[in-house]
Amino acid sequence: MNAERIPDMNEYDLLYRLYEEFDTESLRAYQEFVDLFPPVDSRVALDHWGDASEQLDERKDEIRAAFPQVGETFAALASMATREQAFTALDLYTKHDRGVNVLVLDVDETLRSAGNTDNEIPRETLHLLTRFHEEGMPIVICTGQTLENVKGFLIQGLGNEMVHSGDVSVVYEAGTGVFTPGHGAETKQLLYEDLDVEIRDIFSRVRSRVLPDAPESIRRGCHLQGNEFNVTLKPNFETGSQRAESVIDEGLVYLLDLLEESVADVLGEEPTATGRSRAFYADADPEIRGVLEASGEMPDVTPDAVPDGFGSLFERIDVAYYEADAAEIGSLELNKVIGVEAALSVLGIDDPFALVMGDSKSDLRVMRWIDDNDAGIAAAPDHASEDVLEHVLGTDELVFDRGDAAEMLRSAYAMRRLSRLYE
């Protein structure tokens, strides 16, 4: 039981009084300076840090004294969240009657953004994740990247001790595997090994041919991401550039045909492409249809002409298109939702209420899953895909500026601290 409790007066009035009567902007500046002060060997700098730390403690003590029943929580709120973030947090708690108990976070274009942060996770965001960890919050990194890439930048940014603490899990390659250090036999789960032999055979055939059989323009313009299972073409040009868009559009068409040939081979038919996969996936995904139409590659066949044998396998295989970024084949039986469920099980979170942050259609699946199960809240950067933004705006309207994931993390932190007053 928490020693602090919300008093009888209206909690909105209390928050208003906190931000009206105290210079919380200066308090946050002191807190940020103390938290993010770089390691230096300078007596003058260390003295400056010491002075700031004393000022921080004094200002927090003033808040503790002014709010005797909730002083510790309000001091933490004022030092970490703006007025808007704190009231957003209270609105979220009032609506859901729960605080966040796990973070589920996409990386690229969510925690970090090539547009604003030189594609590195900002120090402020890394520090907030460390603070969550120190207060016992499990963290699930949920990404389409390979495990080795994720481990590298997480250890560099958060430290080996935190990554291997047992409270951090990585759902990688959009759900084909889960890595949760410190959990014995459950540390690494290769979820793709549970797929049918037929599906694994199709992926094996695609992978073995994808670069050797590709047109020269794709061989020169793309590389194969080092996945354990998914087949992902990435551009050899700057993500988002016109050249990257051109080669990924071409790569998407190539992958569709190669998939059809591989399915035909597994079904014992002549391994040729007749446009059946193009017709099937264009009907299922407007973005894929748009690429095929723009490049003049729409097939003559219709979705109704796809044989049942092909259709039943296509329905289990995902073809994903990320404009000027990637073209990918994955399993619809393995996605971020399956990976997140496995990660939560290993972490021992039976009743999750997650903050899910992401920008793409793979993240949208997780957002819809938590919404369907009353298991969390969803947030997205303002440049997220149209479907993601539509979902987020239709739920809790948690949209943050590109490259500023810290804004949403601060609101989640405030929501968690406020929820403890009601425990």
The predicted-structure confidence for 342-390, as pLDDT tens digits, reads as follows 999 999 999 999 999 999 988 999 999 999 999 999 999 999 999 999 9
Please say if the pLDDT value at position 8 is more than 60.
no
Distance of alpha carbon 186 from alpha carbon 309, whole angstroms: 36
22 torsion bin: left (phi>0), alpha (psi -120 to 50), beta (else): beta
Q: What is the pLDDT of residue 202?
A: 98
- Strand (E) or helix (H) holding 327: strand 326-331
Going by pLDDT thresholds of 50, 70 and 90, the confidence category of residue 69 is confident
Going by pLDDT thresholds of 50, 70 and 90, the confidence category of residue 3 is low
- What average pLDDT does this structure show over 397-419? 95
Give pairs for 315-319: CB < 8 Å, separation 24+: 316/199, 317/199, 317/202, 317/259, 319/252, 319/255, 319/256, 319/259, 319/277, 319/281, 319/285, 319/288
pLDDT digits (tens, 9 = 90+) for 279-309: 999 999 999 999 999 999 999 999 999 999 9
Going by pLDDT thresholds of 50, 70 and 90, the confidence category of residue 236 is very high
Residue boundaries of the structural domains of the chain: 11-80, 102-193+334-404, 196-331
Mean pLDDT taken over the chain: 93
The answer to whether 364 touches 391, Cβ cutoff 8 Å, is: yes
- What average pLDDT does this structure show over 129-157? 94
Distance of alpha carbon 166 from alpha carbon 349, whole angstroms: 13
What is the layout of strands, in order, in the sheet containing 317-322? 222-224, 231-235, 326-331, 317-322
Q: What is the pLDDT of residue 117?
A: 46
Predicted TM-score (pTM) of the model is 0.86
102-193+334-404: CATH topology: Rossmann fold (3.40.50)
The answer to whether 251 touches 233, Cβ cutoff 8 Å, is: yes
Q: What is the pLDDT of residue 274?
A: 94
Structural Rg of the chain based on CA atoms? 24
- What average pLDDT does this structure show over 231-259? 96
- Strand (E) or helix (H) holding 161: helix 160-163
Handedness of CA 123, 85, 75, 4 (dihedral sign): negative
Count Cβ neighbours within 10 Å for each residue of 397-411 and write b for 16 or more, e otherwise. ebbbebbbbbbbbbb
Q: What is the pLDDT of residue 1?
A: 45
Please say if the pLDDT value at position 317 is more than 90.
yes
Q: Report helix, strand or coil for 337.
A: helix
- What average pLDDT does this structure show over 33-57? 82
Q: What is the pLDDT of residue 39?
A: 58
In angstroms, what CA-CA distances link 337 with 176, 187, 355?
Answer: 10, 18, 14
Distance of alpha carbon 224 from alpha carbon 208, whole angstroms: 11
- What average pLDDT does this structure show over 224-245? 94
